[in-house]
């Protein structure tokens, strides 16, 4: 079976390119953080920082902050990609079981395949992070403080090993649960499923946890109105309160993403149907019918956009508030923009990989639509509507933690400054850019696998027998 798994990966390597790319991106980001940790702890680095009178902690705190963001985002991304990778070969699992393979062998073979996929991405990421560290780390440290004359950067030998181990284990952790589920699923049920995920009822613990975090966020918003009594009157405590409130609501919307996405799809379908946009309604309905796949795509996008919006809202609001208190002060946004770039790259790559893995088998579906009389332009319009619905849903969900965080800062600044003066910086341009960028990326990825059926016509695809 191990030999068969290796051969299957070699023959179908194109299918696993999206997952490998995501793991590579994640491993690269993790590797840069690991190299930064090691470099800031080097005696030569410490000596140079001390000679310039700059505390080493400034470099280390930044690296710790960025790594915390990278670690959290990587865990979410690799877990989602691991699940999507396992679901992408669910039909193969069913065939193995029909041929008499034991569930234990199916589980082991699935994890072996996921190990091969994650190992390819982890090795590439470790190599890229090592090469990029020669440029990225000196540039980053220069952004932190240009007064330090740092010695020539030297990479750490053990950093690539740490990157490979962490990336592989995280991806395997994400794929373990769906792999066990796949090995226990009756073959008939797996073969009847068109998308490999199907519709699942909402998990009661998941909903309860989501409601709990929403209540936490609401309570923090209410407490922000009493900031002067609670002692939250300086930029640092106000920033922390904003992040905690927005972060709590971010966790809530992430947990409730399938339910929220279903509602948004239902509303969009109704709007398109009433306005006579039949093709657009069909695309939105397609996203709604694949709600579990769509929610898996939307969740990392929403988490990424929400994190970026919350971070920008919190940082810019704190800076605006500090400028009122100290007009001559200057703020360093280097760490903020580094985290924005990291989150944007990781979450967009994750969503793109999930879409690519779930869209690989849509050629037959598109061929059926063409045979029913749908033109090529209409198919493209339907895909554009489907990708727009997913991007819009992700943006709406992402706006919730931004709204909670911004409202906290409004109330806290009013209570501190008095006179009805409120300070807040809403990241509207960044959210609009995120909406457009995610729409474009999802549209391209959804369109790519159907270009061949559109060019060749439905007959070629319909002649092929599905397994």
When pLDDT is cut at 50, 70 and 90, the band that residue 197 belongs to is very low
Question: What does residue 387 show for φ and ψ, rounded to 5 degrees?
Answer: -65, -35
pLDDT at 202 over 60: no
Locate tokens 């030297």: which residue?
154
pLDDT in tens, 342-372: 777 777 777 777 776 666 556 666 777 777 7
Provide the CA 310 distance to its chain's centre, in angstroms.
15
pLDDT in tens, 96-107: 777 777 777 777
Name the residue among 11, 64, 72 with its Cα closest to residue 33.
Answer: 64
CB 148 within 8 A of CB 141: yes
Which structure tokens are listed for 72? 């959290």
Locate tokens 């053990």: which residue?
158
In this prediction, residues 224-252 reach a mean pLDDT of: 82
Which structure tokens are listed for 332? 């360093």
pLDDT at 417 over 70: yes
From CA 69, how far away is CA 427, in angstroms rounded? 19
CB 248 within 8 A of CB 213: yes
pLDDT at position 462: 54
Q: What is the DSSP letter of 196?
A: S
How many other CB atoms are there within 10 angstroms of residue 342's CB atom?
23
Query: What's the CA angle centered on 303, arms 301 and 306, to 5 degrees?
Result: 105
Query: Is the Cα dihedral 51, 52, 57, 62 positive or negative?
Result: negative
CB 114 within 8 A of CB 85: yes
Q: 103-144 and 159-184 are packed helices; what angle lies between their axes, rounded to 10 degrees?
A: 150
Which structure tokens are listed for 205? 């613990």
Query: Is the Cα dihedral 94, 97, 103, 107 positive or negative?
Result: negative
From CA 383, how far away is CA 437, in angstroms rounded? 16
| Predicted structure pTM score | 0.72
Question: What does residue 464 show for φ and ψ, rounded to 5 degrees?
Answer: -75, 135
DSSP 1-38: -HHHHHHHHHHTGGGGHHHHHHHHHHHHHHHHHHHHHH
In this prediction, residues 194-198 reach a mean pLDDT of: 43
pLDDT in tens, 210-231: 999 999 999 999 988 887 777 7
pLDDT at 337 over 60: yes
From CA 453, how far away is CA 443, in angstroms rounded? 17
* 3-state SS class at 428: helix
The listed range with the strongest mean pLDDT (95-109, 240-254, 297-311) is 240-254
pLDDT at position 2: 66
From CA 44, how far away is CA 41, in angstroms rounded? 9
Of all residues in the chain, what percent carry a pLDDT higher than 70? 72
Which structure tokens are listed for 7? 């051969």
Locate tokens 């770039």: which residue?
341
- Give me the numbers of helices (H) and strands (E) for the chain, helices first please: 20, 0
CB 265 within 8 A of CB 293: no
Locate tokens 């030998």: which residue?
157
From CA 79, how far away is CA 26, in angstroms rounded? 11
Is 138 or 395 the better-scoring residue by pLDDT?
395
pLDDT in tens, 159-194: 899 889 888 887 777 667 767 776 776 665 555 544
Radius of gyration of the chain (CA): 24
pLDDT at position 401: 92
pLDDT at position 395: 92
Locate tokens 């491993």: which residue?
27
Chain mean pLDDT for the chain? 77
């Amino acid at each position: 079976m191990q030999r068969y798994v290796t051969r299957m990966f070699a023959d179908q390597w194109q299918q696993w390119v999206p997952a490998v790319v995501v793991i590579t991106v994640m491993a690269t980001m993790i590797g840069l953080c690991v190299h930064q940790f090691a470099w800031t702890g080097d005696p030569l680095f410490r000596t140079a920082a001390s000679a310039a009178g700059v505390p080493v902690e400034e470099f280390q705190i930044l690296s710790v902050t960025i790594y915390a963001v990278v670690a959290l985002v990587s865990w979410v991304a690799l877990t989602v990609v691991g699940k999507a990778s396992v679901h992408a070969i669910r039909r193969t699992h069913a065939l193995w079981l029909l041929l008499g393979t034991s569930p234990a062998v199916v589980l082991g073979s699935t994890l072996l395949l996921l190990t091969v996929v994650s190992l390819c991405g982890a090795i590439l990421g470790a190599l890229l992070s090592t090469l990029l560290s020669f440029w990225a780390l000196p540039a980053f440290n220069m952004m932190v403080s240009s007064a330090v004359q740092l010695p020539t950067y030297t990479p750490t030998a053990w950093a690539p090993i740490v990157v490979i181990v962490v990336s592989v284990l995280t991806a395997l952790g994400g794929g373990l649960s769906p792999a066990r589920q796949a090995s226990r699923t009756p073959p008939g049920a797996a073969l009847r499923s068109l998308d490999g995920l199907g519709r699942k009822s909402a998990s009661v613990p998941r909903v309860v946890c989501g409601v709990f975090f929403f209540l936490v966020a609401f309570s923090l918003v209410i407490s922000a109105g009493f900031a002067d009594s609670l002692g939250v009157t300086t930029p640092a405590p106000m920033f922390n309160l904003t992040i905690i409130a927005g972060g709590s609501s971010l966790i809530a919307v992430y947990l409730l993403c399938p339910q929220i996405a279903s509602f948004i799809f239902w509303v969009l379908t109704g709007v398109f149907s009433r306005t006579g946009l039949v093709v657009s309604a069909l695309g939105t309905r397609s996203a709604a019918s694949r709600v579990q796949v769509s929610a898996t795509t939307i969740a990392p996008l929403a988490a990424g956009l929400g994190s970026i919006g919350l971070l920008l809202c919190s940082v810019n609001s704190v800076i605006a508030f500090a400028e009122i208190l100290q007009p001559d002060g200057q703020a360093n946004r280097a760490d903020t923009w580094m985290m924005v770039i990291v989150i944007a790259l990781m979450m967009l790559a994750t969503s793109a990989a999930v879409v690519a893995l779930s869209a690989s088998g849509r050629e037959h579906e598109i061929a059926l639509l063409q045979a029913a009389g749908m033109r090529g332009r209409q198919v493209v319009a339907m895909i554009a509507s489907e990708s727009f619905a997913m991007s819009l849903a992700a943006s709406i969900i992402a706006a919730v933690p931004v709204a909670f965080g911004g409202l906290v800062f409004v109330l806290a600044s009013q209570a501190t400054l008095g006179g009805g003066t409120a300070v807040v910086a809403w990241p509207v341009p960044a959210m609009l850019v995120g909406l457009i960028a995610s729409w474009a990326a999802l549209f391209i990825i959804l369109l790519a696998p159907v270009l061949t059926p559109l060019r060749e016509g439905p007959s070629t695809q319909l002649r092929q027998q599905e397994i």
